[in-house]
């Protein structure tokens, strides 16, 4: 269940990244992070009024808030900065390529969670394939001031990894439900976003020109890329190792190419071939990723 929930997260992210990119001129990174968090918190709060939360202890609540502050508050802000600088495909590729490696290292160092050699093979195949896709796309894509965008992507990956390991440590105990965990992480993210908006005197409202209908696309992107994605991610962490989950989420990089293809953008032979190789890595992780190590 964990591996398929992680793949569901990847698909949600791939579609949402394109939608968020389409609204990027109206929302600053901080404003985008604020509104997607606020909307998702409201939706999950409504869900939790119907579904009774479980496993809420003081320690669990605090750690998930910290996880959200780092992974969502800081991490997503970095990701949206990368999104605006280098585009949706590149931002997803950079962040999601590095996040699994950082996650594997942090999981081994801080919660003693090791992955098997078969899983390492799967991780290597997926990440190498994604890296090859990055190189293939770089030859046909240029961006102004791309260096800062890639640095923001690395920052997003680091924050994702920290958030992932903390979440995995909490959810692997099987006491707290995924909806409550998702809600708490989003609230934790707002602890960074709201004060930072105030300190930097950033506008809370988007700048909408010529009557563009920004909100429908933004709400849809939020439902997919935040509300649904974070719930599926929390569910995945309850049943699969942190590094395996983050690697499968990294396939959002390849799924974003599929989204681009559906929208009429051409895929090169190299990206198609390496996407196929990545699927082999995913198959390895699906085969060997089910057992959960504590």
**pLDDT tens digits, one per residue of 70-125:** 999 999 888 878 877 887 667 777 787 788 989 999 999 999 998 888 888 988 99
Q: Is residue 104 part of a domain?
A: yes
Q: Are 11 and 259 in contact (CB under 8 A)?
A: no
- What are the two backbone dihedrals, phi and then psi, of residue 182, each rounded to the nearest 5 degrees? -65, -45
- What are the two backbone dihedrals, phi and then psi, of residue 167, each rounded to the nearest 5 degrees? -65, -45
Q: Are 17 and 225 in contact (CB under 8 A)?
A: yes
Q: Summarize the confidence of residues 141-157 as an average pLDDT.
A: 75
Q: What is the pLDDT of residue 207?
A: 79
Give the count of domains, the chain. 1
Q: Is residue 52 part of a domain?
A: yes
How do residues 156-196 score in pLDDT, each as one tens digit? 999 999 999 999 999 988 889 999 999 999 999 999 999 98
Higher pLDDT, 17 or 70: 70
CA distance 22 to 33: 15
> Residue 68's CB: how many other CB atoms inside 10 A?
30
Q: Is residue 67 part of a domain?
A: yes
Q: Are 176 and 170 in contact (CB under 8 A)?
A: yes
Q: Is residue 245 part of a domain?
A: yes
Q: Minimal CA–CA distance to 218: which of 45, 11, 1, 25? A: 25
Domain that holds residue 215: 2-288
Q: Are 178 and 235 in contact (CB under 8 A)?
A: yes
Q: Is residue 294 part of a domain?
A: no
Which class for 238: exposed (0-12), middle (13-18), buried (19 or more C-beta within 10 A)?
A: buried
Q: What is the pLDDT of residue 138?
A: 61
Which class for 106: exposed (0-12), middle (13-18), buried (19 or more C-beta within 10 A)?
A: buried
Q: Is residue 18 part of a domain?
A: yes
Angle 104-107-112 from CA coordinates, rounded to 5°: 125
Q: Is residue 293 part of a domain?
A: no
Is the pLDDT assigned to residue 291 strictly greater than 50? no
Q: What is the pLDDT of residue 201?
A: 87
Q: What is the pLDDT of residue 24?
A: 59
Q: What percent of the chain has pLDDT over 90?
A: 38
Q: Summarize the confidence of residues 61-71 as an average pLDDT.
A: 95
């Amino acid at each position: 269940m964990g591996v398929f929930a992680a793949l569901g997260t990847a698909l949600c992210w791939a579609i949402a990244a394109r939608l968020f990119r389409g609204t990027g001129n109206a929302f600053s990174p901080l404003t985008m992070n604020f509104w997607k968090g606020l909307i998702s918190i409201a939706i999950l709060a409504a869900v939790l009024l119907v579904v009774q939360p479980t496993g809420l202890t003081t320690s669990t609540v605090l750690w998930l808030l910290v996880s959200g502050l780092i992974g969502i508050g800081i991490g997503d802000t970095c990701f949206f900065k990368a999104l605006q600088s280098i585009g949706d495909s590149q931002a997803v590729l950079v962040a999601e390529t590095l996040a699994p490696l950082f996650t594997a290292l942090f999981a081994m160092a801080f919660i003693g969670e090791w992955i098997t050699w078969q899983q390492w093979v799967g991780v290597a195949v997926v990440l190498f394939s994604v890296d090859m896709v990055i190189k293939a796309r770089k030859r046909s894509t240029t961006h102004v001031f791309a260096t800062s965008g890639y640095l923001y992507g690395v920052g997003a990956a680091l924050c994702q990894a920290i958030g992932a390991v903390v979440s995995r440590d909490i959810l692997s105990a099987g006491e707290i439900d995924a909806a409550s965990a998702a809600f708490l992480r989003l609230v934790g993210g707002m602890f960074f976003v709201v004060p930072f908006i105030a300190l930097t005197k950033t506008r809370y409202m988007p700048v909408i020109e010529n009557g563009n209908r920004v909100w429908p696309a933004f709400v849809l992107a939020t439902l997919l890329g935040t509300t649904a994605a974070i719930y599926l991610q929390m569910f995945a962490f309850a049943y699969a190792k942190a590094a395996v989950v983050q690697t499968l989420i990294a396939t959002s990089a390849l799924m974003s190419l599929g989204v681009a293809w559906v929208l009429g953008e051409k895929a090169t032979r190299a990206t198609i071939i390496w996407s196929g190789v990545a699927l082999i890595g995913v198959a390895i992780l699906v085969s060997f990723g089910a057992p959960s190590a504590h």
